[in-house]
Chain A
């Protein structure tokens, strides 16, 4: 059984650029959630995808968008990068979608630095 994998592990971008982060969910999991974790803070919910549909969104602007593919892997896209977007981006997979109350399996994250 493979765990959650994210790529790339580190990324440096400049303000105004666009970035795509990728995530492969754990085998058998159909739900992917994305979180942003600033230094010294807990993860903040960006959005969740269940069977290729967005299934909940946190308080993030529309320039944060995502996709989930038929194999349940996922992408997070951020347009018009701002300095405050510098953070660790975490992908988490689970089995349940709307069932809720289930534990999340996290990847190791992508550390994004915006200069």
Chain B
């Protein structure tokens, strides 16, 4: 069965303190790995899709990387507005659904 495990559950950073979020996954043939950001009371907002090991994507202070077993979301010099829950999801070949992890709740203090 496809599984996604995210760590840590919660992360508190000072503004400017860089860190990484981890997403470990097992899937029977990866179609895509997705990162979403979710603010309280809102639906998830798409950040990145990664398709194969070695791939990297960047957007502002965020950089996502992918290996055959895990993905990292690196946050460089975060700002308070980066505070949110970050969700990782995988989609397997032949499936139409996404399997989500429980998320990492990030808080960035000024």
Q: Per-residue 0/1 for A29-43: is the Cβ within 8 Å of any B Cβ (1 yes, 0 no)?
A: 000010100001111
Smallest CB separation, B28 vs chain A (Å): 14
Chain B residues contacting A66 (CB-CB under 8 Å) are: none
| Segment touching B, from A14-22, A69-77, A106-114 | A106-114
Chain B residues contacting A90 (CB-CB under 8 Å) are: 43-44
Q: Per-residue 0/1 for A68-99: is the Cβ within 8 Å of any B Cβ (1 yes, 0 no)?
A: 00000000000000000000001010000110
Chain A residues contacting B100 (CB-CB under 8 Å) are: 35, 42-44
B97 within 8 A of A: yes
Q: Per-residue 0/1 for B31-72: is the Cβ within 8 Å of any A Cβ (1 yes, 0 no)?
A: 110101000011111100101000000000000000000000
B21 within 8 A of A: no
**Contact across chains for A100 and B89 when beta carbons are under 8 A apart:** no
In the complex, what residue of chain A is closest to B42 when comparing beta carbons? A108
In the complex, what residue of chain A is closest to B51 when comparing beta carbons? A101
Chain B residues contacting A25 (CB-CB under 8 Å) are: none
**Contact across chains for B89 and A109 when beta carbons are under 8 A apart:** no
Interface residues on B, range: 20 to 34
Once the chains are docked, how many angstroms separate the CA of A33 from the CA of B36? 16
* A106 touches which of B41, B43, B97 (Cβ 8 Å): B43
In the complex, what residue of chain A is closest to B105 when comparing beta carbons? A40
In the complex, what residue of chain B is closest to A57 when comparing beta carbons? B97
Once the chains are docked, how many angstroms separate the CA of A43 from the CA of B100? 6
Q: A42-B103, A104-B44 are in contact. List 20 more A-B contacts (CB 8 A).
A: A4-B43, A33-B98, A40-B102, A41-B103, A42-B87, A43-B87, A43-B100, A44-B100, A45-B99, A48-B96, A90-B43, A92-B43, A98-B96, A100-B95, A100-B96, A101-B32, A103-B46, A103-B49, A105-B46, A106-B44
Can you pick out 8 interface pairs between chain A and chain B where the beta carbons lie within 8 Å of each other?
A41-B102, A42-B87, A42-B103, A56-B96, A103-B34, A103-B46, A104-B98, A106-B43
